[in-house]
A = this chain, B = another copy of it.
Amino acid sequence: MTMVEQPRVIGTRPIRPDGVDKVTGRARYGADVKLQGLLHGRILRSPHAHARILRIDTSRAEALPGVMAVVTGRDLPVADDRVEELGESSANLRELSHNVLAGDKVLYRGHAVAAVAATSPHIAVEALRRIEVEYEPLPPVLDVRDAMRADAPLLDENRRTREMGQIAPDAPPSNIASHNQFQQGDMDAGWAAADVIVEREFTTKMVHQGYIEPHTSTALWGADGYLTIWTSTQGSFVVRGQVSEILRLPVSHIRVVPMEIGGGFGGKMPVYTDVPAAMLSRRTGRPVKVTMDRTEVFEGSGPTSGTYIRVKVGATNGGRLTAAQAYLAYEAGAYPGSPVGAAMLCMLAPYDIPAITIDGYDVVVNKPKTAAYRAPGAPTGAFAMEQVVDELAETLGLDPLQFRLKNASKEGTRQSTGQPFRRIGNIETLQAALATPHYNQPLEGPNRGRGVASGYWMNAGLKTSMTASVSPDGTVSLIEGATDIGGTRASLAMQLAETLGIPYEAVKPTVVDSDAVGYTDVTGGSRTTYAGGVAAYETGTDIIRQLKERAAAIWQVDAADVAYDAGVLRAAGDPSKSMTFAEIAARLHATGAPVVGRAAVNATSPGGAFGTHICDVEVDPDTGKVTILRYTVVQDAGTAIHPSYVEGQMQGGVSQGIGWALNEEYYYDENGRMANASFLDYRMPTALDLPMIETVIVEVPNPGHPFGVRGVGEVPIVPPLAAVANAVYRATGQRFRDLPMSPRRIVEQLHGLA
């Protein structure tokens, strides 16, 4: 299915270059950084969900022997009150700065207030105890609907709602940061054409990405004014950009070294520990490491939004969707920036519906500022939409997959952007799901049910730079800037190898720091294998051009008469003139300059992708425990460069989605204290909780990529919330429209106890 006639590397399953290092413990993560004279930093965090800071006295902490420096938000430069593009996302610089170290107010429990650097971690902890902060507690607002009320406590008295991009002069202060609406088609006609209309409301709770490795940064601010940060991040350049803006230090003065990363899922794009580590290093002239503990990760980093969603969908008795309306209110956390916009783009994308209206609200609450989390916004949108679609199918007496297929979006269908889709694989994915052994094997037994759901993610493109240098042993050193989270060293090396017609093992990829490669956006938005693949292809093409010129010089022919195919150079019309890649590589040294390929791309055609999931559950009516019996993911990968890693992404996304569906939630008391801020109490699924996730890769090549790649990492978390809910409905006869479907909630609802 790829655009290469006979791929030799793409589609194989080689070992990742960083694999041995990672299983033997040699790989270096952020916390492994050890520097001469290293100081230990710790962060003081707000015990209040909402309070004014009246006074901070750090003198007793500073007097403690071993304490080298204390910093607070007052030590930060005043940031501009403007929104800046920062890699994949954008942020208001003042808010970004205040989230890192609070200004006049703390807006959530766990909000960073001060940071200390000391000669030992124990002294640092003791120093935190000695910092006196006088707070004026304010009433917190913890739920999106509460926050939207006119009489709600205001997080920021100067905030007014941006309505469709504009702030009205007479707008009152509000926690609603923005409201946007997308509308297309004739809604009245749509509703009029409907024989059945289902309208439901849904709620979901704030959940965390749950990456294994906490945030950790080590900073060294030299006497020359140049700052180096070793950090766990999804993107060295986005850290560089944020630190630059917050500290008002030119990007050229900041080097960010991306260490190996123990998971991110979107949550390691904003900066947290980087800034206090840098400030403390500047104060002390020594390297400072700041590492969060798990409670700090939960309370002080960025989870994803709790939501309130209403969906109304109409269909004809013949099974045609006629109109859909959605109302999405997303918690942004303490500062604006929920993923409601992405939810608006994705939730109706699997369907071709003549008339749609979507309203999205971005709402601040006294909880941590949200960050991206794998297909940000889309899973909760799908949780709502896919249950309504399921209910319509049941009402109409249609198979839920056939119903989806009948209404499936395809090339030319207008998206929720107003633009038509290019070539997409939605129909092929649904057909493949219908053909799976899983779907064709009946599920039997009491308290059991099968649910299906679809989901969409549009994927990102963005910027990637790359160079690659040919070595005399016939190999290529590939130099890239994208943090490798899910095997992208391999997936990019494979695409370069395919382009050059050489073995995968002949490409040696290295991820370097922000000073050592051209600008490269975050590993996020499922963009790295896609945009990095475009760069790898262009880099390979650039090398081939140079090799043709060299061969032409060696053979004394015209470069235009040299062909390169499958790793072999040939001169036109002279079969004696032929050299393999390895042969010319060995001759480069003696025949001229080194050969270095280069690409710097802005990839703009990522190609959205669809998944359809099938889930079998058994619900214990006494305990409320939901057991996942079987789960199959069917997803369009465009072209699967490394099928094992595609399958791994699909399985990983589902695992996280099942946790979100069944157990995960930020559980708050009325004062805004998270009651379960540890992995003991915040229940993520383990391997024992899940069956082997079955996978079916569909390949409908993306016309916007030389090998047809679509992003694969985010789509698989979109359907599971709904797929599980639909399965639980079939098992219990009851619709669960509030997440998580925890044992307690299931028991309460089944037995009418709530």
* A598 with B601, Cβ < 8 A, contacts A21-B222, A34-B34, A252-B477 known: no
Which residues on B sit within 8 Å (CB–CB) of A20? 222-224
Stretch at the interface among A386-394, A588-596, A696-704: A588-596
Interface residues of A in 18-38 (CB under 8 A from B): 19-21, 24, 26, 32, 34, 36
Cβ contact within 8 Å between B250 and A475:
yes
Give Cα A517 to B517, complex, Å.
Answer: 9
* A516 with B516, Cβ < 8 A, contacts A20-B222, A506-B252, A594-B463 known: yes
How many whole Å from A634's CB to the nearest CB in chain B? Answer: 35
Number of copies: 2
Interface residues of A in 581-606 (CB under 8 A from B): 589-590, 592-596, 598, 600-602
Cβ contact within 8 Å between B594 and A518:
yes
Give Cα A251 to B589, complex, Å.
Answer: 13
How many whole Å from A210's CB to the nearest CB in chain B? Answer: 27
Which residues on B sit within 8 Å (CB–CB) of A590? 85
Which residues on B sit within 8 Å (CB–CB) of A85? 589-590
Give Cα A24 to B244, complex, Å.
Answer: 24
Interface flags for A465-479 (1: CB within 8 Å of B; 0: not) read 101010111010101
> Size range of the interface on A?
35 or more
* A252 with B471, Cβ < 8 A, contacts A479-B515, A594-B518, A594-B519 known: yes
Give Cα A210 to B543, complex, Å.
Answer: 42
Interface flags for A484-496 (1: CB within 8 Å of B; 0: not) read 0000000000000
Cβ contact within 8 Å between B512 and A465:
no
Q: Does A510 contact B (CB under 8 A)?
A: yes
How many whole Å from A201's CB to the nearest CB in chain B? Answer: 40
Contact of A252 among B473, B516, B596, B600 (CB under 8 A): B473
Which residues on B sit within 8 Å (CB–CB) of A598? 467, 596, 598
Give Cα A10 to B554, complex, Å.
Answer: 37
Give Cα A465 to B468, complex, Å.
Answer: 11
Give Cα A467 to B597, complex, Å.
Answer: 10
Q: Does A577 contact B (CB under 8 A)?
A: no
Q: Does A159 contact B (CB under 8 A)?
A: no
Q: Does A52 contact B (CB under 8 A)?
A: no
How many whole Å from A381's CB to the nearest CB in chain B? Answer: 29
Cβ contact within 8 Å between A467 and B518:
yes
* A252 with B26, Cβ < 8 A, contacts A517-B469, A593-B601 known: no
Which residues on B sit within 8 Å (CB–CB) of A145? none
How many whole Å from A536's CB to the nearest CB in chain B? Answer: 14
* A463 with B593, Cβ < 8 A, contacts A20-B224, A21-B224 known: yes
Cβ contact within 8 Å between A471 and B251:
yes
Which residues on B sit within 8 Å (CB–CB) of A520? 594
Interface residues of A in 228-258 (CB under 8 A from B): 244, 250-252, 255
How many whole Å from A647's CB to the nearest CB in chain B? Answer: 23
Give Cα A628 to B510, complex, Å.
Answer: 53
Which residues on B sit within 8 Å (CB–CB) of A744? none
Looking at A17, A32, A250, which has the most chain B CB atoms within 10 Å of its CB?
A250
Looking at A251, A517, A519, A595, which has the most chain B CB atoms within 10 Å of its CB?
A519
Which residues on B sit within 8 Å (CB–CB) of A730? none
Which residues on B sit within 8 Å (CB–CB) of A224? 17, 19-21
Q: Does A737 contact B (CB under 8 A)?
A: no
Which residues on B sit within 8 Å (CB–CB) of A469? 465, 517-519, 600
* A472 with B508, Cβ < 8 A, contacts A518-B596, A594-B463, A598-B596 known: no
Cβ contact within 8 Å between A473 and B223:
no
Which residues on B sit within 8 Å (CB–CB) of A24? 222-223
Interface residues of A in 50-104 (CB under 8 A from B): 85
Which residues on B sit within 8 Å (CB–CB) of A602? 592-594
Which residues on B sit within 8 Å (CB–CB) of A21? 222, 224
Give Cα A600 to B545, complex, Å.
Answer: 14
Give Cα A477 to B477, complex, Å.
Answer: 20
Q: Which residue of B lies closest to A285 (CB)?
A: B24
Q: Which residue of B lies closest to A592 (CB)?
A: B602
Which residues on B sit within 8 Å (CB–CB) of A467? 467, 517-518, 596, 598
Contact of A475 among B19, B251, B471, B589 (CB under 8 A): B251
Cβ contact within 8 Å between A515 and B519:
no
Q: Which residue of B lies closest to A596 (CB)?
A: B518
Contact of A26 among B222, B251, B517 (CB under 8 A): B222
* A600 with B589, Cβ < 8 A, contacts A20-B224, A506-B252 known: no
* A508 with B516, Cβ < 8 A, contacts A251-B471, A596-B467 known: no
Which residues on B sit within 8 Å (CB–CB) of A17? 224
Give Cα A252 to B504, complex, Å.
Answer: 13
Contact of A600 among B223, B463, B514, B594 (CB under 8 A): B594
Give Cα A516 to B517, complex, Å.
Answer: 9
Q: Which residue of B lies closest to A25 (CB)?
A: B36
Looking at A34, A520, A598, which has the most chain B CB atoms within 10 Å of its CB?
A598
Looking at A20, A244, A508, A593, which has the most chain B CB atoms within 10 Å of its CB?
A593
Give Cα A105 to B402, complex, Å.
Answer: 83
Looking at A463, A516, A592, which has the most chain B CB atoms within 10 Å of its CB?
A516
How many whole Å from A730's CB to the nearest CB in chain B? Answer: 48
Give Cα A485 to B218, complex, Å.
Answer: 28
Give Cα A463 to B19, complex, Å.
Answer: 33
Give Cα A85 to B472, complex, Å.
Answer: 12
Which residues on B sit within 8 Å (CB–CB) of A250? 473, 475
Which residues on B sit within 8 Å (CB–CB) of A220? 26
How many whole Å from A695's CB to the nearest CB in chain B? Answer: 27
Q: Which residue of B lies closest to A519 (CB)?
A: B594
Give Cα A21 to B589, complex, Å.
Answer: 35
Give Cα A590 to B508, complex, Å.
Answer: 32
Give Cα A244 to B594, complex, Å.
Answer: 18
Cβ contact within 8 Å between A596 and B600:
yes
Looking at A34, A506, A518, which has the most chain B CB atoms within 10 Å of its CB?
A518
Q: Which residue of B lies closest to A512 (CB)?
A: B516
Give Cα A506 to B596, complex, Å.
Answer: 25
Q: Which residue of B lies closest to A467 (CB)?
A: B467
Q: Which residue of B lies closest to A23 (CB)?
A: B223
Cβ contact within 8 Å between A251 and B472:
yes
* 9 A-B pairs with the lowest CB-CB distances in the bound complex, closest first: A20-B224, A252-B475, A518-B596, A469-B518, A519-B594, A593-B602, A594-B600, A250-B473, A598-B598
A–B Cβ pairs within 8 angstroms, 27 of them = A17-B224, A20-B223, A20-B224, A26-B220, A26-B223, A85-B589, A250-B475, A251-B471, A252-B473, A252-B506, A255-B510, A463-B589, A463-B593, A463-B594, A465-B594, A467-B596, A467-B598, A477-B516, A479-B515, A508-B515, A510-B515, A512-B512, A512-B516, A518-B594, A519-B589, A593-B601, A596-B600
Given A24-B223, A467-B596, 13 further pairs, Cβ under 8 A? A17-B224, A19-B224, A21-B224, A244-B473, A251-B475, A252-B508, A467-B598, A477-B515, A479-B515, A479-B517, A593-B600, A593-B601, A596-B600
